[in-house]
Chains A and B, each alone.
Chain A
Amino acid sequence: MKFRHALVLAGLAAVLLYAVGHLPGRGDPSAPAHRRTSPAGTPGAGTYYLEHALEDAATPNVVTVVLADYRSVDTLGETLVVFTGGIACLLILRRRS
């Protein structure tokens, strides 16, 4: 049984290493995520954020602008998830005592 587990893990590691070998290099300007247009021909979002974040929100940190302005519904959902998790934790743990 132990040997079969090791075999499955080795196979998974081989697949992951094969996939990692085909990723674009770190900081490669010609990677699809960094191009001005996506491979499908539509304008890419990342270039717009980098170019317009300072003039749109007067904030130098692009990560903050993306998290709290452009993608703020995402952050609202994240905060709601944290709050719901805390409330669920409270409800479950209070029943024990």
Chain B
Amino acid sequence: MLTISLILLPIIAGLITLTTKGENAKTIASVFAFAEMVLGAYAYYSFMPNANTQFATSYNWIHSAGIKFSVGIDGISLILVCLTTLMVPFIVLSTFRNNYKNPHVFYALILFMQAALIGVFTARDIFLFYFFFEVALIPVYFIAAVWGGENRIKVTFKFFVYTIFGSLFMLLALVYLYLQTSGIAHKADFESIYAAAKSLDITQQSYLFAAFFIAFAIKMPLFPFHTWQPDTYVEAPTAGTMLLSGIMLKMGTYGLIRFVLPIVPAAVDKWGMIAIILSVIGIVYGSIIAIQQKDMKRLIAYSSFAHVGLMSAGIFSKNTDGIQGALIQMLAHGINVVGLFFIVEIIQQRTKSRELARLGGITQTTPNLTVYFIILMLGSVALPLTNGFVGEFLLLKGVYQYNAWIGAVAGLTIILGAVYMLRMVQKSMFGITSRITDGFSDLTFSEKVVLFPLSFMVIWLGIAPNMFLKYTEPAVNQLLSIIK
């Protein structure tokens, strides 16, 4: 029931928001988003640290085809449900200084998006998963395409067609798996699918692997499927970018853990190396491009591309450390990237520019902003005692166990990450005050309300990562036992 409420609450909230007029929408949306956060926290505290699927509910959905509306939370879902419920309230709050046209639709779409994301992360039936996976795209498409920047139409369209194209292949793969389940009446729940997958031979697995890989690699995105990403992140309104990079790209990594590893393990053995190499290319390539960026938003977009490469490499390395690292890093990356995009938004609102060359010297007048920016930046650079460190350390350890050479190349992420992040902070915050940064005012209360909790989480997760790792570990171990 809890899981259903987690999905239903944002839908109801969205519908209520739709009926409001004017600026009330903001307040209503944020109230509901915080209510959802409380529900998420309740799920976290009542979760038992074992491998079982908890708070599960199942209804017949398409009875004639054996498809169920079946949802539940296990350790892997939990961390993503926490991420979603934690981030959305702050994403809503971060827009408080903006005046969007048709605010009621804008906030309703954010809430619908949240419902779809929770649906993706809690679905226990492959078609329900697919359903939410695609539905999540519609609100974010409209958020980006209606409220976005100048080039939004072309860019978001490319993003939409690209991702749908990928997921259609996944649909084929899912239908194929569904038809492999035993008996005349096929089933579509995860357990039946995992059981049916055991009898697949290597050729079948390879095709399925290709189909899943294309879908998830486009979503995350991995090299060379990333071309939609930087433009979309730049053109989308900041709230949309936060949703996309903070939460939505985790649908891809989640899909890898949930489908690719347990369903086609033999194909992962055979082709995993290629996937890891692509991921590592993404890390290095993304970082190098990030170093050269002039636009802050674009820089963070490429950094996000680099980080997700490391997550995927960790997942494909198929060991506890790699997967655990990917999971904790999903959460950490979500927090950091939402915070960083918000800071870019703050700078842009005050100076009307995101260009590093035109900024500088902001620290002179803004002690608060500087502190928060540096904490979030350090989290992203993966300094020890920040959340990024835990994730990257485990990920690199996992990749190193898989192959030391690749591990070494992937390790460049720490150095390169420091280069582009420090460069960004230095060029934007330090140095001589430029014409447009003169008289930059410090954070307002509503901005602090967002940045303080985010920065707090950066440090807290860095000190006590076990508060999540202990919940994910049983599920990850169970997953690995399916593979072996």
Are these two chains actual partners, yes or no? Answer: no
Interface residues in chain B, defined as those with a beta carbon under 8 Å from any beta carbon in chain A: none
Interface residues in chain A, defined as those with a beta carbon under 8 Å from any beta carbon in chain B: none
